Each structure stands twice: as C-alpha cells, then as structure tokens.
A and B are shown apart, each in its own frame.
Chain A
Amino acid sequence: MYVRRLELVDVRSYARVGVDLQPGPNVLVGPNGVGKTNLIEALGYVATLGSHRVATDAPLVRAGAGSAVIRCAIVHESRELLVELEIVPGRANRARLGRAPVRRARDILGALRLVLFAPEDLSLVRGDPAERRRYLDDLLVLRQPRFAAVRSDYERVLKQRNALLRSSYLTKRVTKTAGDLSTLEVWDQHLAEHGAVLLAARLALVDALAPHLSKAYDAVSAGEGAAAIAYQATVPEPTADAVLAALRASRPQEVERGVTLVGPHRDELALTLGPLPVKGYASHGESWSFALALRLAAYELLRADGIEPVLVLDDVFAELDTGRRERLATLIADAAQVLITCAVEADVPTRLSGIRYTVRPGEVVREQ
C-alpha cells in the first residue's frame, strides 16, 4: 500500500497544497515550524480519524477557515482509491470513498493503514501505563475491528461500576450506613465477561508482538541490550471466572476507595532492557530507540498479517547516533512506502536517498 498523492485545503498552515508521493522512501526536508508534521498529521487523520498531536479537531483547521479538507489517493494491490475527508469542528466529519459519499466517516477506516512514529511516542516509554495500554488496544483494533466494540463496552461498564462504587462510597461517608450495592454483582459479571475477552486478546497480541520487538530493537541498537516486553495482568488468567474471583477478592478495598482496582484497565505492559526496566533506567537515546522499536514491531506484525502499511517517521533521525541511523535505514529500506521528515537533510542516511521534497511555508516542492 502507498499514498500516491496528498492534497490539503485549509489544513493547519496550508491554504492549499498538493504533493505527489512515490513508493519507497520519501524525504520531506524543511526548517522547524514550516509545516512538515502538518502533512504527516493529515495522513494520520485519514488512517485513524484523530490527530496524534491534539485531542480536538479545531487546531487542524487553518485559522480563519470554516472547514479543512484532506484528500489522498491510495494505491493498494495496484488499484487506486481516492479518500476525501472534510473536517468541520464541532460537527460530524464528512467523507467520500472513490467520489461516493459514505454514511459515516468511520467507514473510511481501513482504507489507509499507517504506522506513525513521532516525537510524542517517547511517552510510550516514559509515560503512564495508560499510554502503553492504548498502544496495545489501538493495534488490536487495527488488526481486528471487532475489538473496538469490546474496548468501548468494557470502558462503559467500568464507568458505570465506578459510578456505583463512588455513589455508595459517598452515601457511606454522609450517612455512615452502607450505600446501595445491590447491582454490583451484575456489573461484576459484565466487567468480567468483557474484561476476559480484552485480556485474552491483549495477551495474544503481546505474544505475537514480542519477537518482532526484540528483533526491531536489536536491529536499531546493533545488539546493545536485549529488549523485551511482558504483559503484567492484575488478573491471573483471561477467563471471566478469574476476573470475577479477582473482583470479589478486592471488593472490600474497592468499596472503601470507591473505584475498580482490578481488570485490564489496571494492567501494564512492562518494558525491559536486559535485566532492568526501561522507565527510570534507560538513557534518552535508549528510550527513544525502544519507543521506535515498539512502532516498528507493530509495523512488522501488520506486515506479517499480510497488510502492508505505510510507515511514517516524523523527525526520528535527528535523535539517533550515526550507527543507529544506518541500521534503521537498512531495516526499512524494503518498506512499500516510508515518509520521513527532517529539519537537516544530512541527518537522513544516504541509503534512503529516495525522493526528496523541500517544505517551505505553505508549499511543498519536489527536488529534481
């Protein structure tokens, strides 16, 4: 799969811009703040219907414009598909697939498969466990869309259960008598059912991902340190009975604190380098490499599934030493399409001397 053309109208800093892209490596060069990441962000939006930088849509629309349009031509198995998306802040997005309007913008998901590595991804390593759970769940949904429903059901039941625990906790504080927990058993059952499915899927995913991760880190670091991931569950096994038992065991503390303490929403993806955890021990360069390895592992896993996603590396090379740059270049040389952004052209290894584009305020020019 590759993106043949990307057109933006009123997106961020661009009034109107069109870029013809090629299979293989494409390097976008330009000074800081010129709008390289805006191009990447727009592509990411088509793939996920969300920005990797901001939570709301308003910043994506150019100041003064009412709506933004992202249009991209995607070639998959030598067939071209045109995806158009109109972003109107505060309203539902409108989308068209091959010039025909679709009922919901969600229907364009899957048209573009993209793995994006951006500076923000350092939080995969340094941030809260929630970041790593989101990484797993997003990948899960990308591979099997059904898990979008499992995930949202789980989150909904969890919210309801927490609301129940919370209100009972407050009643208890005010009236000194136990609050009404008569429906807790019901929420436990539903939390256990959805939780077990989510947990089983995450465990299987981590199993499938682990070899790709070790390989990716090894390749990037040339064997300096063995990287590994392990899923740390708050429940011993992925069955509804086990989740239910764990919920029963922690019920006194849960009622005491008014919040659900066990289940996939409290699990952690442990990252280790040799014998040590990455968080708090690894250097900046190592953390960066680990975050990159997590994205590359996702990329390799999707490739192994038979989906050939587009790989996007936003501002990656500046952070790596020369050796790591070269090895990364070797690793991704055979990708169907890689989009690379950088501020200094010399940072990108010559091996990736594919097509070069110069990004200037408001325009993108291909170098001859």
Chain B
Amino acid sequence: MYEGAIQDLIDELGRLPGIGPKSAQRLAFHVLSADPIDVRRLAASLVKVKEVVKFCTICFNVAEDDKCRICRDPRRSDEILCVVEEPKDVVAIERTNEFRGRYHVLGGAINPLEGVGPDNLRVRELMQRLADGEVKELILATDPNTEGEATATYIALLVKPMGITVSRLASGLPVGGDLEYADEITLGRAFEGRRTI
C-alpha cells in the first residue's frame, strides 16, 4: 500500500476495465513521472468527455451535438439502415468504407441472464425511425454470438411485416487467411454456409 494520492490514483485506475492492480500501479507511476502539461491534458480530456459527448438523438451513436457526424451527412442514403450493438461497431464498419447508409445503435443485445430485454435497448426508437417508410433495407449487424443472433431475429420478426428487406451479415472464414489455421468450429460453419459459384 502506498500513501495518500498515489494510492487513490492506483485504486481509480484499477477500476477501469482490463486494468489489474499491477497495470494500475505502472500507470500511476508513469503519470507521476510525466510532464505536468501532459498530465493536465489527460485530466482535461477525462473531464471533457463526460461534459461534451452526448448520444445522437437519431441513431444513438456518440456525438458532440444533437446529431452525430453520420446523421448530419447529406450524401448518405436514408434508404438503407445498419443496426449495431455498440458505437464501436459503427467505427468498425466505417473503416470498410463500403457502407453509405445510416446507423442505429441499440446499446447492447438481448440478454435475459443479465436482465437486458428489448425495453432496455433502443428498439422502440428504431421502430419509430422505420415508421415513415423511407428505409427500404435493414442490415442487422449485431455480434455473431447467441445474444446477437437472438437480437437480430427479434428485430427481423418485428420489421418483416412492414415490407422492409431485412438482411444479416454473413459469417465464415476470415479473408486473406489460410484454411489450415481456421479452427474446426469456424470451418465447420463455413462448410454449412457454403455457396455455389
């Protein structure tokens, strides 16, 4: 145990996800030995992020205004909407530079074990967005795990009767990799989901 401020800092850092006691200690001593200007900048950005960053009122992505950068962009298509779990999924899809539609961030996936139902997600807001009939295709890009698949099915059941095309991201082998390095489970699924060419 250290005294006073340094132990406080170690305790606070240790509460962050993925940071154990040893890492917290290393980070704390790094901060202690760093230039005061750098430390002040770090502290300011920590405070600022809570003050300035809000959630977009349309898609619930992180934003600095009422609307996020993507929802403000007039060049994007309103006809195609991609549903994701978290803001970081938006960033991942944006990196592909393939998708020119808009997003909807649910804020998680249906997970009864953790008490998360559709009411805890932005499903109602999604339905309101779809109500005006402008969206023609909905892409469900939730995670390819049990909870993500369930969330995708749930939304698909709600949306299909509205006459909107609903699609789901494909899953299978990673591109650019070697077949021999794929594990049996991924390879087995890729076999199941094979297509004719």
Would you mind naming 25 contact pairs between A and B with Cβ atoms under 8 Å apart? Answer: A106-B183, A145-B184, A145-B188, A146-B184, A146-B188, A146-B189, A148-B185, A156-B146, A157-B150, A160-B112, A160-B146, A163-B112, A163-B113, A164-B112, A167-B112, A180-B117, A180-B119, A182-B117, A183-B117, A183-B150, A186-B110, A186-B150, A186-B157, A190-B149, A190-B153
Q: Is the interface of A mostly helix, strand, loop or mixed?
A: helix
| Contacts from A to B (Cβ < 8 Å) | 106, 144-146, 148-149, 153, 156-157, 159-161, 163-164, 167, 180, 182-183, 185-187, 189-190
Q: Is there an interface contact between B115 and A183, defined as CB atoms closer than 8 Å? A: no
* Residues from 166 to 197 in B contacting A, C-beta threshold 8 Å: 183-185, 188-189, 191
Alpha-carbon separation in the docked complex, A153 to B150 (Å) = 12
Q: Is the CB of B111 within 8 A of A160?
A: yes
Residues of B at the A interface (CB closer than 8 Å) are 110-113, 115, 117-119, 146-147, 149-150, 153-154, 157, 183-185, 188-189, 191
Determine the chain B residues whose CB is within 8 A of the CB of A161 once the complex forms: 112
CA distance A180 to B123 in the complex (A): 15
Contact between chains at B189 and A149 (CB < 8 Å): yes
B185 touches A146 (CB 8 A): yes
Q: Which chain A residues lie closer than 8 Å to B119 at the CB level?
A: 180
Smallest Cβ-Cβ distance to A197: which chain B residue? B192
Nearest 9 Cβ contacts at the A-B interface: A146-B188, A145-B184, A164-B112, A163-B112, A149-B185, A156-B146, A186-B154, A163-B113, A186-B153
Bound CA–CA A148/B188 (angstroms): 10
Q: Which residues of A contact B150 (CB under 8 A)?
A: 157, 160, 183, 186-187, 190
A163–B191 Cα gap in the complex (Å)? 32
- The answer, among A145, A157, A164, for a CB contact under 8 Å with B146, is A157
Residue of B nearest to A189 (CB): B153
A104 to chain B, nearest CB (A): 8
- Hey, which chain B residues are within 8 Å of A180, CB to CB? 117, 119
User: Who on chain A is nearest to B186 by CB?
Assistant: A149
Q: Across the interface, which residues of B come within 8 angstroms of A185, CB to CB?
A: 157
Q: How far is the CB of B189 from chain A (nearest CB, A)?
A: 7
- Bound-state CA distance A159–B147 (Å) is 11
Least Cβ–Cβ distance between A172 and chain B, in angstroms: 15
B-side contacts of A182, CB under 8 Å? 117-118
C-alpha spacing A185/B150, complex, angstroms: 10
**Inter-chain contact B113/A160, CB cutoff 8 Å:** yes
Apart from A164-B112, A186-B150, A190-B150, what 13 extra A-B contacts exist at CB < 8 Å? A146-B185, A146-B189, A149-B185, A149-B189, A157-B150, A160-B146, A160-B147, A163-B112, A183-B110, A183-B118, A186-B110, A186-B153, A190-B146
Min C-beta distance of A321 to chain B, whole Å: 43
Chain A residues, CB < 8 A from B113 = 159-160, 163
In whole Å, how far is A111's beta carbon from the nearest beta carbon of chain B?
A: 13
A16–B9 Cα distance when bound, in Å, is: 46
Residues on A with C-beta less than 8 A from B149 are: 190
Distance to closest chain A CB from B120 (angstroms): 10
User: Nearest CB to that of A154 among chain B residues?
Assistant: B146
Which among A146, A153, A186 has the greatest number of chain B C-beta atoms within 10 A?
A186
Chain B residue at minimum C-beta to C-beta distance from A160: B112
How far is it, in angstroms, between the C-alpha of A179 and the C-alpha of B157 when the chains are bound? 20
Q: Who on chain B is nearest to A141 by CB?
A: B184
The docked-state distance in angstroms from the alpha carbon of A146 to that of B193 is 13
Distance A145 CA – B185 CA, assembled complex (angstroms): 7
B113 to A, closest residue via Cβ: A163
Alpha-carbon distance between A156 and B115 when the two chains are bound, in angstroms: 15
Q: How far is it, in angstroms, between the C-alpha of A167 and the C-alpha of B189 when the chains are bound?
A: 33
